Structure 1
Amino acid sequence: MSTNPAPARRQSPQVYRRRRLLVLLGLVAVIIAIVLVIVRPGSSQGDEPDAAAGAAPSATPDASDEPTAPPTVIPTEATEVDGDACTAKNVTVEAVTDKTVYEAGEQPQLSVTITNTGKNVCVLNAGTNAQVFTVKSGEELYWQSTDCQVDPIDAEVSLTPGTPISSSVPIVWDRTRSSAETCEGPREAVPAGGASYHLEVTVDGIASETSKQFQLY
């Protein structure tokens, strides 16, 4: 009497899971191998152009194409020559009085001295039309030669370097206050008794650097 073989023992679920995992890992390994064959790690994506043959032209412009900056112009000082107009740079104007102290009744005589301090002969108008004598005490203006000037003239003179010229005829100040409205009739006498005054002179637009001080008694 034959006996039937015993039925195969059913495997546990853990065994089936391990088998499925092994099969899945095998498939993943095959896929990775195929990808590595296609991609070929370490090689570049496509052929690189030859550096020498395919190099792009330089973007640096040729030096000859660049705009040239204009040359720098250095200003030069104009050279003075004989016959140029006198300026405050090469001429000094000095206010002059015949005294520094005037007693009662004495009238100051006002004049001017002009000196060319440059190296060349210069020309200026030294006539009475270009002269302005001003007498002040402090900031107050007392007298000015142009207020009631009569028949002013122009007189162009050439100044030789280092040779001063002075007024040929001084202006006499009568110690009165002047204005353009007081040219006719008597004028008011200025304060005296030791009062201090300053004379300033301008010739052809060039002013005296300092004033000349004097006193009236």
Structure 2
Amino acid sequence: MSTFRNPVGPQPRSVYWRRRLVVLLGVVAVIVLVVFLVSRPGSGEASSGIPNPSASPTQDAESAAEPEPEASVPPEDQPVEGADCDPANVVVEAITDKASYAPGEQPQLSFSITNTSVVSCTYNVGTTQQLFTVTSGADQYWSSEDCETGAVDAPILLEPNLAQSSEPIPWDRTRSSADTCDSDRPAAPGGGATFNLNVTVGAASPAVPTSFLLN
């Protein structure tokens, strides 16, 4: 069956057809407008509130404007690996191989040195920096400087908190002086006499004296 009827009324038939045509065109225009509003860009799902994961032009500009991080520089008071040791961080210990010596037995004198900082550093432990003295009370009996020849420098790397020991040198139990290097020297007293070994190495604090007995 057709959707449209023949027009009926006092007016000519063409008038009624024109009226229907106008109404039909209006209905079509309304339908077209509704379809346009529904399907236009930005309507419906396209306007959802989900953020775009890609960076906006403003964000890109801000990121480009951010300065690159500068390389970190250690503070001036932070020790540098392998640099010269700070003498304040160097500890020297005086060492004898025994606490008591039999008559005629020569004490073997040495020292240990320790870097107490948190990084390794270099320190001169050569004979140019070493000083051994043997004392009894206020009396000095022997000094490694009195007849020393050919002193040399010996920089070594000191690891943190790792003690390193020197090669021992013998004390012949005599009283030394720079004037008696090639002559006989008087012997130090024995019979249980107490002596102290003192050691310094460069600018580090002197070692605490170590006591020993000569019998």
AA aligned opposite 1:198: N
* Aligned equivalents of 1:113, 1:203: Cα separation in 2: 10
Q: Does 1:163 align with 2:137?
A: no
* Aligned equivalents of 2:118, 2:143: Cα separation in 1: 33
Structure 2 partner of 1:125: 124
AA aligned opposite 1:181: D
Q: Does 1:176 align with 2:180?
A: no
Work out the percentage of aligned pairs sharing the same amino acid.
49
How many Å apart are 1:88 and its aligned residue? Answer: 3.5
* Aligned equivalents of 1:138, 1:91: Cα separation in 2: 27
Structure 1 partner of 2:92: 93
Question: How many correspondences in the alignment?
Answer: 141
Q: Structure 1: any 5+ residue segments left out of the alignment?
A: 1-75
Structure 1 partner of 2:62: none
Q: Which deviations, in whole Å up to 9, do the C-alpha atoms of 1:77-125 show, x marking residues without a partner? A: 7221112322332111000000000010100000010011110111111
| 8 Å contact kept, 1:104–1:216 | yes
| 8 Å contact kept, 1:201–1:207 | no
Question: How large is the RMSD of aligned CA atoms in angstroms?
Answer: 1.4
AA aligned opposite 2:181: C
Q: Structure 2: any 5+ residue segments left out of the alignment?
A: 1-74
Structure 2 partner of 1:111: 110
Residue 192 of structure 1, aligned match among 190, 193, 210: 190
* Aligned equivalents of 1:143, 1:205: Cα separation in 2: 21
* Aligned equivalents of 1:186, 1:211: Cα separation in 2: 27
* Aligned equivalents of 1:199, 1:104: Cα separation in 2: 18
Q: What secondary structure sits across from 2:79 in the alignment?
A: coil
Residue 212 of structure 2, aligned match among 204, 207, 214: 214
Q: Which deviations, in whole Å up to 9, do the C-alpha atoms of 1:22-78 show, x marking residues without a partner? A: xxxxxxxxxxxxxxxxxxxxxxxxxxxxxxxxxxxxxxxxxxxxxxxxxxxxxx972
Q: Which deviations, in whole Å up to 9, do the C-alpha atoms of 1:143-202 show, x marking residues without a partner? A: 0001101211111111000211101x3110000001111111111101111110000111
* Aligned equivalents of 1:216, 1:96: Cα separation in 2: 15
The normalised TM-score by structure 1 is 0.62
Structure 1 partner of 2:145: 146
Q: 4+ runs of 1 displaced by more than 6 Å?
A: none
Indicate the structure with greater helix content. 2
* Aligned equivalents of 2:77, 2:203: Cα separation in 1: 21
* Aligned equivalents of 2:103, 2:165: Cα separation in 1: 27
* Aligned equivalents of 1:88, 1:121: Cα separation in 2: 13
* Aligned equivalents of 2:135, 2:86: Cα separation in 1: 25
